[in-house]
A and B are shown apart, each in its own frame.
Chain A
Amino acid sequence: MSSQPATNSSSNGVAAGHLGFEKPLLRIENEIVTLENEQRTTGRDMSVDIKAMRTRLTKMTKRLYSHLTAWETVQVARHPTRPLVPDYINYFVRDFCELHGDRYFGDDRAMLTGFGRIGPYKVMVIGHNKGKDTNERITCNFGCAHPEGYRKSLRMMKLAEKFNLPVVCLIDTQGAYPGIGAEERGISRAIAVNLMEMSRLRTQVVCVVIGEGGSGGALGIGVGDRVAMFEHSFYSVISPEGCAAILWRTSDERERAAESLKLTAKELKKLDIIDQYLPEPLGGAHRDPKAAARTLETYLVDSLRELRRFKIDTVLRKRYERIRNLGQFFESADAKTRAKAKAKAKAGGGDGSALARGRRTQPRLGRSPTTLAQ
């Protein structure tokens, strides 16, 4: 499923850079500006008042950001000044050497790829590029890749595999582009092949959702040994707008849809879809991109160090197990057996005979998928 271009929240009458729910912050910031101006023009010392206001601002930001609703999270993840893949590359990827083209059709600028150094590691960096300003956004197609983007990323992954470089995937897209050309050039096949090849790529793969994780277009570079998300990013099977349009037949229900879809990092950690979420600076990554970059860099270096310790066959076996155990279902259609299994699982003594959930229980058919791995 793909999403339609997102509308940013700047349309709700709030000053640029502020989201609708941030009105209280804007009010305090305005007051600080007024106080500072007054100090400058009158020469009176207002520093005590200003300091108090700043403390209030911090407190208020903390309060607002400690329990963002799902829809507010979506807005933060789409914030126009949120750091993008090229920003993170500038902050911590040294000697970045961009590589272009899929060798079949063209060079999709929605997908940014190249060699780089992160900490002590030489890596292949792959990420969506949404573009900073209007011109760049158009060139990059707002980060919505075509089939050639996915084929380009796959080409770079194969290159990394050949020369034993780990792969770092940074996800930030509304979704793969829904257009005629994309269908003609086999967008389904391009994404499917990426999923298949990433699952068996003989090098370490670390994926992080840094902003928007839009459906298949995100997953297309999202299969790896470690999958993480930034605290205020989101990852969803369909955009909240799209979901609302289908289920409630109006996009006005997007807030409810966002809530229902459990698309926040915290919810997805609970569902075992991701391994962990990375804390963001107070008030979101866009308020302190440098700090966000440090967090991301540390996470990547730590993950690579950990993964580099294992033999590649072990890495691949674990990767398969990780993917294999995604999902949950009842093994029996019989309501009584199910209720029993549930009660047992709740009591902590579940043997998983009827309720299989996530990675906690052994799969069925009297064998474990690991036997297949060898």
Chain B
Amino acid sequence: MVINGKAEVPAGLWEKCQACGAMVYRKEVEANLGVCPECGYHRRIDARTRIEQLTDPGSFEEFLADLSPTDPLKFKDRIPYRERIRAQQKKTGEHEAVVVGKAYIRGRPVILGVMNPAFIMASMGSVVGEKVTTAIERSTEENLPFVMVTSSGGARMQEGMVSLVQMAKTSAALARFDDSGGLYIVVATDPTTAGVAASFASLGDIILAEPAAMMGFAGPRVIKNTIRTELPEGFQTAEFMLEKGYVDRIVPRAKLGREIARVVDYCGK
């Protein structure tokens, strides 16, 4: 499923590209991996679509598929957290905001994690933290490269500190993976921000990013309100992060599999 901004793509045959405004044929966009055929704008795609695009057909074996969130804070909000979760589960058909498993990418076995921007903006709560951590530990045990496709609005507010400490948990697992000599590849996609950016999304041995993906720690609105000036053009994009030295390569969606395989081959695993 291609996600158009916040809402999913409606069932029409034609739709407007949110970047260039061109009317594009829906099937053509899908065939083009969710990239606008006119301007090359990379739309957000959900986790299953990503896995289908990236892995060898039928090779993906998911683990921890049933892990689902509790409500540790009994969070009081306009809409109770439990209801938010239930609505998201119904909407996406997923239990949580990340999918992890073992897969083959162009014949190379890897442990793969993919965040799902369709699920509460792939915010990180206990379940996301646990699944990512387990995936890292699996990579350590099985001596396989770990590929993480990130996209996230940050820590999940409704799980409070329980979500913040998931940053420490995933990073600690990565330290052990690093000690064991494991290869960790990050694929940063739109948007990779806040708590996820300030933990596992920034710790890759190699960091690839999709074109124009938003990448940053603080939200642009927060920065604008703090410094009270306009933000420079292209601020907090993948290209900006490449220029500043925080991204290795910007890779269009169609070439991701090939690039990952290349890095895996170079690193000898």
A260–B75 contact, CB under 8 A? yes
Contact B171 A196 (CB under 8 A): yes
- Within 8 Å CB of A330, what residues of B? 66-70
The answer on a CB contact under 8 Å between B203 and A193 is yes
Interface pair A256/B76, CB less than 8 Å apart: yes
- Besides the known contacts A1-B157, A195-B171, A262-B161, 8 further A-B residue pairs in the complex with CB atoms under 8 A apart: A1-B155, A176-B218, A177-B226, A179-B226, A183-B216, A186-B202, A192-B201, A237-B164
Tell me if A327 and B166 are in contact (CB < 8 A): yes
What is the CB-to-nearest-CB distance from B90 to chain A, in angstroms, rounded to a whole number? 12
Contacts of B179 in A (CB 8 A): 200
- Given the known A-B contacts A5-B226, A199-B168, are A369 and B137 also in contact in the complex, defined by CB atoms under 8 Å? yes
The answer to the question of A28 belonging to the interface, with a C-beta cut-off of 8 Å to chain B, is no
- Interface: B1 (CB within 8 A): no
**Is B95 close to A, CB under 8 A?**
yes
Q: Give 1 or 0 for each of B219-243: 1 = CB within 8 Å of chain A CB.
A: 1001101110001100110000000
**A306 at interface by CB-CB < 8 Å:** no
Report the separation of the CA atoms of residues A236 and B204 in the bound assembly, to the nearest whole angstrom.
Answer: 27
Given A246-B157, A326-B165, A334-B66 in contact, is the A195-B244 Cβ separation under 8 Å? no
Across the two chains, which residue of chain A brings its CB closest to B140? Answer: A372
- Find out whether the CB atom of A180 lies under 8 angstroms from the CB atom of B217: no
Query: With an 8 A cutoff between CB atoms, is B129 at the interface?
Result: yes
A333 vs B223: C-alpha distance in the bound complex, in angstroms? 39
Most buried by A among B194, B200, B235: B194
Tell me whether A216 and B73 are in contact (CB under 8 A). Answer: no
Decide: B78 and A247 in contact? CB cutoff 8 A.
yes
A243's contact among B67, B68, B157, by CB below 8 Å, is which?
Answer: B157
Taking a contact as CB atoms under 8 Å apart, the answer to whether B129 and A327 are in contact is yes
Q: Are A183 and B64 in contact (CB under 8 A)?
A: no
CA distance in complex: A357, B173 (Å):
19
Residue contact B126 to A216, C-beta cutoff 8 Å: no
Contact of B199 among A195, A247, A328 (CB under 8 A): A195
Pick the most buried of A187, A216, A238, A327: most chain B CB atoms within 10 A of its CB.
A327
Are A323 and B169 in contact, with the CB atoms below 8 A?
yes
Neighbouring A residues of B75 by C-beta, 8 Å: 260
In the bound complex, residues from chain A placing their C-beta under 8 Å from that of B168 are 195, 199, 219, 222-223, 323, 326
B180 to chain A, nearest CB (A): 9
Instruction: Determine whether B141 belongs to the interface, using a CB cutoff of 8 Å to chain A.
Output: yes
A197 pairs with B175, CB closer than 8 A: yes
